[in-house]
């Protein structure tokens, strides 16, 4: 695969959610990622057509309860630059595949660990999901209506604060290993990551520019010039007219001529002004408003569905989405001028095990055959 990470080899211990997302990001940018699937787990996890996050890498199914399979992973680590895993703390150690064992075999290895709570702390061994992690960092409290927090899918904890943060950590540690010859452990906790994503909000709060309640601030739907409004047809329009010159265009297009709109940042007026903006936007359909605001700097956009987004002219022109094996999915991001990424390969088929990958990574043919004979692969 082409891309800025071409030449790097990463072992991915198959898991759920943020771990595979990190593996996808690394593979998208050219790393050779070999996914180790625990034998017998294929039926549960599945790699059906449309498993976008499994794209771009080969997979080998190993029975890690057998010493032959554990030794095979340790041997693979000798040829790897990094490893990522997303099990609870201690699981990899009990398998004989913890950082000490791996770094003994390859001192340059970067060992990435993805968990919700981190490798230590009172909750480290407690089960959890995205919603729990962002609840404890204040992120969930800050998102939603005045009455109740709203679940932001699982984008903040699992993917933004989790998988993407692990990918950043891996690349950072890989750069350091290239300079020093020394690997290390990357402890990526979704609580840490989602807290980091809230840095700007903590800054605003410290400056007295953010109230610690929902729908009362400029970026959380409290302001009349930054929010989502329902249109005549029940579809929605996203309004983000923060700067005064953009706000002036918004007022012009919506015909908001009243003097009460003049003081844009008077928070006391925001609730009443939101009602007036909402009433104006309800007079036309979403696509009618999209035409009105087209080619302006009002920072107004139609809220598109998952099926509509790929067909939008801007997304289509940039190739923001690609079709792989008949499945529409996001293209690799970000983009690089000198080392552009390839279109991703489709995910391996359900239950597939590519034992040839073991040979390609340096395991002897007789070792691979012995794994098969032992029922370890």
Same domain, 17 and 91: yes
Reply yes or no on whether 129 is catalytic.
yes
Planar angle of CA 98, 102, 108, nearest 5 degrees: 135
Planar angle of CA 292, 217, 147, nearest 5 degrees: 100
Residue 8 Cα distances to 2, 82, 355, angstroms: 11, 8, 20
Same domain, 158 and 289: no
Query: Among 195, 89, 205, 220, which Cα is nearest to 134's?
Result: 195
Q: Which of 28, 81, 130, 158 is catalytic?
A: 158
Confidence band of 40 (pLDDT split at 50, 70, 90):
low
Same domain, 150 and 281: no
Residue 43 has pLDDT above 70, yes or no: no
Residue 183 resides in a domain: yes
Cis peptide before 48 (omega within 30 of 0): no
Return the pLDDT at 45: 43
Same domain, 93 and 242: no
Boundaries of domain holding 261: 226-230+236-302
Residue 345 resides in a domain: yes
Reply yes or no on whether 51 is catalytic.
no
CATH, residue 14: 3.40.50.10540
Same domain, 175 and 290: no
**Residue ranges with strand state E in the chain:** 9-13, 32-38, 58-62, 82-85, 110-115, 184-189, 226-230, 236-240, 300-302, 321-324, 327-330
Q: Which of 63, 129, 141, 360 is catalytic?
A: 129
Same domain, 109 and 188: yes
Residue 315 resides in a domain: no
pLDDT digits (tens, 9 = 90+) for 56-93: 999 999 999 999 999 999 999 999 999 999 999 999 99
Work out how many domains the chain is built from and give that number. Answer: 2
Query: Among 52, 68, 57, which Cα is nearest to 17's?
Result: 52
pTM of the entire predicted model:
0.94
Q: Are 240 and 307 in contact (CB under 8 A)?
A: no
- Angle of helix 270-281 relative to helix 244-254, nearest 10 degrees, comes to 50
Please tell me the distance from the alpha carbon of residue 131 to that of residue 324, in angstroms, as a whole number. 31
Burial environment of residue 5 by CB neighbours within 10 A (0 to 12, 13 to 18, 19 or more): buried
Task: Tell me what the mean pLDDT of segment 191-198 comes to.
Answer: 98
């Amino acid at each position: 695969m082409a891309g800025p990470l071409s030449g790097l080899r990463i072992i991915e211990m198959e898991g759920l959610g943020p771990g595979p997302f990190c593996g996808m990001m690394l593979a998208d940018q050219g790393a050779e990622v070999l996914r180790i699937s625990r034998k017998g787990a294929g039926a549960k996890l599945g790699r059906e057509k449309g498993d976008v996050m499994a794209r771009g890498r080969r997979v080998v199914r190993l029975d890690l309860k057998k010493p032959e399979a554990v030794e095979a992973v340790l041997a693979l680590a000798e040829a790897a630059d990094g490893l990522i895993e997303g099990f609870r703390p201690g699981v990899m150690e009990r398998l004989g595949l913890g950082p000490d064992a791996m770094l003994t075999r390859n001192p340059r290895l970067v060992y990435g660990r993805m968990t919700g709570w981190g490798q230590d702390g009172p909750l480290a061994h407690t089960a959890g999901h995205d919603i729990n992690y962002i609840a404890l960092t204040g992120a969930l409290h800050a998102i939603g209506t005045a009455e109740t927090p709203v679940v932001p899918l699982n984008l903040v904890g699992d993917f933004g604060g989790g998988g993407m943060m692990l990918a950043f950590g891996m690349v950072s540690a890989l750069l350091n290993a290239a300079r020093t010859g020394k690997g290390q452990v990357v402890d990526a906790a979704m609580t840490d990551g989602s807290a980091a994503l809230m840095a700007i909000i903590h800054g605003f709060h410290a400056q007295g520019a953010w109230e610690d309640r929902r729908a009362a601030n400029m970026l959380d739907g409290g302001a009349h010039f930054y929010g989502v409004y329902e249109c005549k047809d029940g579809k929605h329009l996203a309004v983000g007219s923060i700067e005064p010159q953009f706000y002036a265009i918004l007022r012009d297009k919506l015909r908001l001529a009243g003097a009460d709109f003049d003081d844009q940042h008077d928070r006391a007026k925001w609730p009443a002004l939101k009602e007036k903006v909402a009433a104006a936007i309800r007079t036309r359909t979403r696509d009618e408003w999209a035409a009105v605001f087209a080619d302006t700097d009002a920072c107004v956009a139609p809220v598109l569905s998952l099926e509509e987004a790929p067909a939008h002219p801007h997304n289509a022109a940039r190739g923001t989405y690609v079709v792989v094996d008949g499945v529409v999915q996001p293209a690799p991001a970000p983009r690089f001028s000198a080392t552009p990424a390839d279109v991703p390969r489709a995910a391996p088929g359900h239950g597939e095990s590519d034992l040839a990958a073991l040979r390609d990574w340096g395991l002897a043919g007789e070792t691979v055959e012995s794994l098969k004979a032992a029922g370890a692969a």
